[in-house]
Structure 1
Amino acid sequence: MPIRLTFLPSALVASCSLVTALAFTFSGSVNASEPKAEPAQKPAVTQEKGRLPLDDLRAFTEVLQRIKSDYVEPIDDKTLLENAIRGMLDNLDPHSAYLQKEDYQSLEESTSGEFGGLGIEVGGEDGLIKVITPIDGTPAQKAGVKAGDLIIKLDDTPIRGLGLKKSVELMRGKTGEPITLTIIREGASKPLEITVVRDIIKVDSVRHKMLDKGLGYIRISQFQVDTGKEVLDAINSMRKEEQLSGVVLDLRNNPGGVLQAAVDVSDLFLKDGLIVYTKGRIPNSNMSYSATAADPSSGIPLVVLINGGSASASEIVAGALQDHRRAIVIGTKSFGKGSVQTVQGLRSDGERGLKLTTALYYTPSGRSIQAEGIMPDITVADANVTRTKESTGGYREADLKNHLDKNAQMTSESGSEGSNNAEADAALDASDYQLYQALNILKSLHLSRQPGSGQSISLPAKNG
């Protein structure tokens, strides 16, 4: 049964933990068999085991009592205690959090693939809201919101001082209601205003198409419970169209998702070896996942696309395929979300929860990508390509007197396809430069692949 981010106690998840503007999207985790991760070293304990720091507890109760008795406005005990809980977690790391009832609901919605809002993954940065990625096919993506945008105002409300949680609440709303985002974008001379109409967000986690003869494209926008099956269906569907000779796996701007889905996708392209493992202080945080013997991809050449918006579960897949030298990873350095969160329901009422960082995950070679990210084998930055016009001066063969003409039949049979391919390449080059370069690399792998060469692709050895 796949691990998913639900409200069940002790559900282990490797959360991307980048709060969405419409749901709290927490990314996948890690599992399974070889090698077994060794228990992490426990930090030095500063007080005797089992004993509480009584002086600090007295200070806490004294502060609590003084706020209740002396603060300018009355505050109830529940509010004070919830603020204290939130404060304990806010100062640990960016991904540990106190989850109230509505946060739990958003967590479930994000892994089921349907929720309401704008369709952007966001996080806090210097008092503003940074767009980590717009989700494919959502109102925000269609309106032109881009990864890296800084939101400074929601309608007429400035973001600074508002806080991430309140900003998220303002971005939510009824379906059909518009909201204007004022954003700062790198390279723009002044702030931009983008109006987005709220809608029910139904995320299709996998899309596919053929890029060229025998060369396929699979895009994963986020890792949901059934993503592994959907990628397998995409491979089989493209194989029905024609012989599949290679695939570009696009993980750009993929914020993560369900861990088991990341393991399932990796397993489709590997036939043995470790995929990912975790190490933490508690026994159930030391886990590992390995590939099964089946190889649905049949070892076809593979290129993986990543960028700064590729996080968590995306990095698990890219790291595993890179370490096994099963794929060439191209693009730009990934986000660097390499921690695991455990989500537990609070026994007090069952409606609130605690999301606590309990482990780090590691790629098969033992790399922790926490705050480091996955470095691509070939760095290809996104770019806008402008083609120069070719000079019309000078002579060509066709301008020479008595030049030989090609056979008309050969022109119609062989010239047409070459022309169409050139036009398609030029269009892809202009619209998506990184994908264009990925396709070129995939073509090279396909042409250089020797019969019976097996699953591994010959790549230079990785350091670290």
Structure 2
Amino acid sequence: MKTFASPAAKQRFLMLCLLGAVLFTAIGIGLGMLWMGYRYPMVGEPTFQQFTVSYNKIMNDYLEGADPKKLLNGAAEGMVASLGDPYSRYLAEEKGNAYTESYEGQIYGIGAELREEEGQFVISGLTKGAPAERGGLLPGDAIVKVDGQSLSGKTFQNLLGLVRGEEGTSVSLQIHRPGQAEPIELTLKREAIPIHTVTSELLEGGIGHVTITRFAEKTAEEFEAALKELQAKEPLKGLLLDMRSNPGGLLQPTIHIANTLIPKGKVILNVVYKNERRTVTYKSQQTKEWTIPVAVLVNGQSASASEVLTAALKESAGASVIGEKTYGKGVVQAFNQFKDGSVLSLTEAQWKTPAGTWINKQGVAPDYAVELPAYTKLRPLAIGTELKVGSYGEDVKTLQTMLEELGYGPAGRDGLFDEQTAEAIRGFQTAEKLEATGAFNDKTGYQLLERLREKLKKEDSQLLKGLEVLKQR
């Protein structure tokens, strides 16, 4: 126990204790502020006070009330958007989950492909063995309600959000089937539905045609499986790698495919980070020599990872590139996913080809510049477009060109929907077993696109050039 010689000594001691407490508190606050400034540098920005005042003002005084989570997510979205970078973005919660799921090898749903037609969502295809097929759904069925919710006025994204969900959970559908007056009610359990990014076919002369639509988690595995399947049919004499309109995706499966096709030790790409403080060079780790000639098909929508692989094959493996100059996305994004599912996707680096060329806004030039037939560049007619006698403009001109390309012409005066246009449409509708109204609607538009796709398969000038190049090699 402490004793004091006099009341004055006791008072001095208490004063010293008080001053010590104040001093330690001040030091603690100072250190705390330093730590906060280090941990959260935005706190030190003068405009952060404006943000805080605005947040408090909204929460306290906004007439309709506000959700703090939405406010902060909106602030994060705006912060990233202020960078002016088209590839950097902040995706809140469900949007972030949807972003990461798009790169995974599967989604959880019922396994039905859908299209929007006449204000309805119509099934255009079914995944074999998936819940939708097992449950008795058929192409042409229209989904009217999901879990009791009408789809009237809903967007395609709204529909996907309703149909997809956790594995093993149930979803109830109300279906309208053409020719049946009464709706069909059924309940399906959601399952893992594989997302396929690679398709293949064996063309004449032993040429393997492999199409990669994007680079997702399992793309490299699908690519290897496609090669094995093709080589099991007959020894390949050439590989035609089709990456037209491939928007890119994940880098790792891209590198894995490059390891298969590019000689061991050859450079695939160089990734250069901010201020060139770090450069990562990827070289082929090929384990088995690839001796089959390769040609690559690309177009102006081939971007990012598809450009990485195209440039690497061209410069490090001697592959021929055919088609059009690629898009020119030579920057690299890294994404962080937070606990609530939100994602920050941020541009952190750019890349150079094996020869040291920057690709961003430049693209990869083809060795053989080949354009597709002119009708492939027609502007698509928007869903919900209705055209009839008396209509005029660019949509009518597009429609007339489509009809004439398919042999239903002449289709009337250029850009004016006249009786001759109506007669051409009636001829097409009759041939397609559609109601011959002589007017354009979604059903007619869908069938027109299907027939043009079939026509392109026979007249694909880029693919034909690829076959020619490979046969010469």
Bucket of the pairwise TM-score, normalised by the shorter protein? 0.5 to 0.7
Query: How is 1:183-194 mapped onto 2 (pairs within 5 angstroms)?
Result: none
* Structure showing the higher helix proportion among its residues: 2
Give the one of 269, 278, 294 matched to 2:287. Answer: 294
% identical equivalent positions: 31
Task: Label 1:118 to 1:354 Cα distance change in 2 as closer, same or farther (>3 A).
Answer: farther
TM (norm. structure 2) is 0.55
Query: How is 1:43-82 mapped onto 2 (pairs within 5 angstroms)?
Result: 53-82=44-73
Answer yes or no: is the 8 Å Cα contact 1:428–1:435 preserved in 2.
no
Residue 85 (structure 1) aligned with residue 76 (structure 2) = yes
Q: Distance in 2 between matches of 1:333 and 1:136?
A: 35
Q: Which runs of 5+ in 2 are unaligned?
A: 1-39, 115-124, 133-138, 141-150, 165-172, 177-190, 376-404, 408-453
Q: Which runs of 5+ in 1 are unaligned?
A: 1-48, 121-134, 144-153, 158-165, 180-198, 389-425, 446-464
Answer yes or no: is the 8 Å Cα contact 1:270–1:326 preserved in 2.
no
Give the one of 224, 243, 249 matched to 1:251. Answer: 243
Answer yes or no: is the 8 Å Cα contact 1:429–1:436 preserved in 2.
no
1:219 aligned counterpart, secondary structure: strand
Q: Which residue number in structure 1 is paired with residue 88 of structure 2?
A: 96
Residue 440 (structure 1) aligned with residue 430 (structure 2) = no
Superposed displacement of residue 350, structure 1: 5.5
Answer yes or no: is the 8 Å Cα contact 1:137–1:203 preserved in 2.
no
Q: CA RMSD in A?
A: 4.1
Give the one of 307, 323, 331 matched to 2:323. Answer: 331
Residue 223 (structure 1) aligned with residue 215 (structure 2) = yes
The higher-RCO structure (CA 8 Å, 6+ apart) is: 1
Q: Which residue number in structure 2 is paired with residue 379 of structure 1?
A: 369
Q: Who wins on radius of gyration, i.e. which is larger?
A: 2
Q: Which residue number in structure 1 is paired with residue 416 of structure 2?
A: none
Task: Label 1:66 to 1:246 Cα distance change in 2 as closer, same or farther (>3 A).
Answer: same
Q: Distance in 2 between matches of 1:178 and 1:312?
A: 40
Answer yes or no: is the 8 Å Cα contact 2:93–2:340 preserved in 1.
no
Q: Which residue number in structure 2 is paired with residue 278 of structure 1?
A: 271
Size of the aligned set, in residue pairs, is 306
Q: What amino acid is aligned across from residue 271 of structure 2 in structure 1?
A: T
Q: What amino acid is aligned across from residue 438 of structure 1 in structure 2?
A: G
Task: Label 1:291 to 1:54 Cα distance change in 2 as closer, same or farther (>3 A).
Answer: closer
Q: Distance in 2 between matches of 1:177 and 1:384?
A: 42
Q: Which residue number in structure 2 is paired with residue 174 of structure 1?
A: 163
Q: Which residue number in structure 2 is paired with residue 112 of structure 1?
A: 104
Q: Which moved more, 1:350-359 or 1:258-267?
A: 350-359
Superposed displacement of residue 304, structure 1: 0.2
2:102 aligned counterpart, secondary structure: helix
Superposed displacement of residue 217, structure 1: 1.2
TM (norm. structure 1) is 0.56
Superposed displacement of residue 381, structure 1: 1.5
Q: Which residue number in structure 2 is paired with residue 363 of structure 1?
A: 353
Q: Distance in 2 between matches of 1:252 and 1:303?
A: 12
Give the one of 246, 253, 267 matched to 2:259. Answer: 267
Q: What amino acid is aligned across from residue 254 of structure 1 in structure 2?
A: N
Task: Label 1:345 to 1:286 Cα distance change in 2 as closer, same or farther (>3 A).
Answer: farther
1:112 aligned counterpart, secondary structure: coil
Q: What amino acid is aligned across from residue 378 of structure 1 in structure 2?
A: Y
Per-residue CA deviation, residues 386-409 of structure 1 (Å, 9 max, x unaligned), is 899xxxxxxxxxxxxxxxxxxxxx
Q: What amino acid is aligned across from residue 310 of structure 2 in structure 1?
A: A
Q: What amino acid is aligned across from residue 72 of structure 2 in structure 1?
A: L
Answer yes or no: is the 8 Å Cα contact 1:222–1:257 preserved in 2.
yes
Q: Which residue number in structure 2 is paired with residue 411 of structure 1?
A: none
Q: Which residue number in structure 1 is paired with residue 441 of structure 2?
A: none
